[in-house]
Amino acid sequence: MLGNFCSSAGFCWLGAFATVTLACTNAAGAEFRFDRDTIAFANQTVFEYHEGHPSLRKGSATRLDAYKRHCFVLCRTAMQFKKFARFEPRSAPLDDTSLAARIRAVTHRAPWAEPLPEDQRIVFPGYKDLREMSKARREFLQENIGHGWPSYFRISNARMIFQQSAGYQEETHARLNAALARGQFFVGFLTTYPRLSINHSVLVYQRKSVSPNPGVERYFVYDPNHPESPRELTWSARTRAFSYQKDWDFIGGFVRIYQVYGKWLQ
């Protein structure tokens, strides 16, 4: 996408639920390993960045620079493979036709559906995990996990215009903690609309157990633009706002976050 492309009683109850079940959060997050369950190649940004400020990208002849606007697709794919696939590294790899069919069988399942039992999961022989398969078959995976352009037309994108309040972000924070506590993942749409400093999707998979600043919660994030290591998202109770880590493609600081892939039409 642009920039980086790609009732009070009820609310209090939800926040209390997330707090009480925090111990489950860490256990659930431990099941997702960055070096195993993320995708090895990067989503390329549409623009070039210097200290987070965009400029037109110069032309490139490499295929590596052609995979743009797929941050939503990569987050969805990582979540779907975690829920619906398993790997058998000691078995012989599939031929291309069979491998494509199985990749599509995974990515065509609703990402918000419950995880499949191990004996019902779609099997990928010849690889130990998604990280290894996406490294070995990078272009093949890119061709079979879906297009990035539908991200522009998601109905839920309209929330960035109509739901900007700190109260809505506070509710989102409670939903984030509740999702992690249930052993689920939280795919977030990050934006600073009407500014265009970031317009991006990440997968939040674990809350950090220790924060040096009281009132600040920190989360591990898979960012498709940065497959080399986890990024960090933070929540401040004082400002009732999220912040995202500074890097070459974002100046860092305040972002709004909206959940996607948590339910139909989201």
Closest CA to 262 of 211, 212, 219, 201: 201
Tell me whether residue 198 is in a domain.
yes
Query: Does 142 map to a domain?
Result: no
Please indicate, yes or no, if residue 100 is contained in any of the structural domains.
Answer: no
* Per-residue pLDDT, 213: 81
| DSSP sequence for 20-83 | HTHHHHHHHHHTS-HHHHS-SSPPBPSEEEETTEEEEPPP---GGGG-BS-HHHHHHHHHHHHH
- Lowest mean pLDDT across 10-14, 55-59, 89-93, 241-245: 10-14
Whole-angstrom Cα distance, residue 188 to residue 243? 13
Q: Is residue 255 included in any domain, yes or no?
A: yes
- Tell me, yes or no, whether 136 lies in a domain: no
pLDDT band for position 47 (50/70/90)?
Answer: low
Confidence at 48, pLDDT banded by 50, 70, 90: low
Pairing state between β 85-88 and 122-125: parallel
Number of separate domains in the chain: 1
pLDDT surpassing 80 at residue 201: yes
User: What's the pLDDT at 138?
Assistant: 97
Tens of pLDDT along 179-193? Answer: 999 999 999 999 999
| 19 vs 165, more confident | 165
In angstroms, rounded to a whole number, what is the distance separating the alpha carbons of residues 62 and 65? 6
Task: Write down the pLDDT at residue 57.
Answer: 61
Sole residue written with tokens 């256990």: 27
Q: How do residues 215-242 score in pLDDT, each as one tens digit?
A: 999 999 999 999 999 999 999 999 999 9
Share of the chain above pLDDT 70, in %: 81
Using 50, 70 and 90 to split pLDDT, how confident is the model at 244?
very high
Range of the structural domain that residue 17 is part of:
8-29+154-260
What's the pLDDT band for 260 if we cut at 50, 70, 90? very high
CB 66 within 8 A of CB 4: no
Q: What is the pTM of this model?
A: 0.83
Name the more confident of 106 and 48. Answer: 106
pLDDT for res 151: 85
In a domain, 230, yes or no: yes
**Is residue 250 assigned to a domain?**
yes
Q: Is residue 189 part of a domain?
A: yes
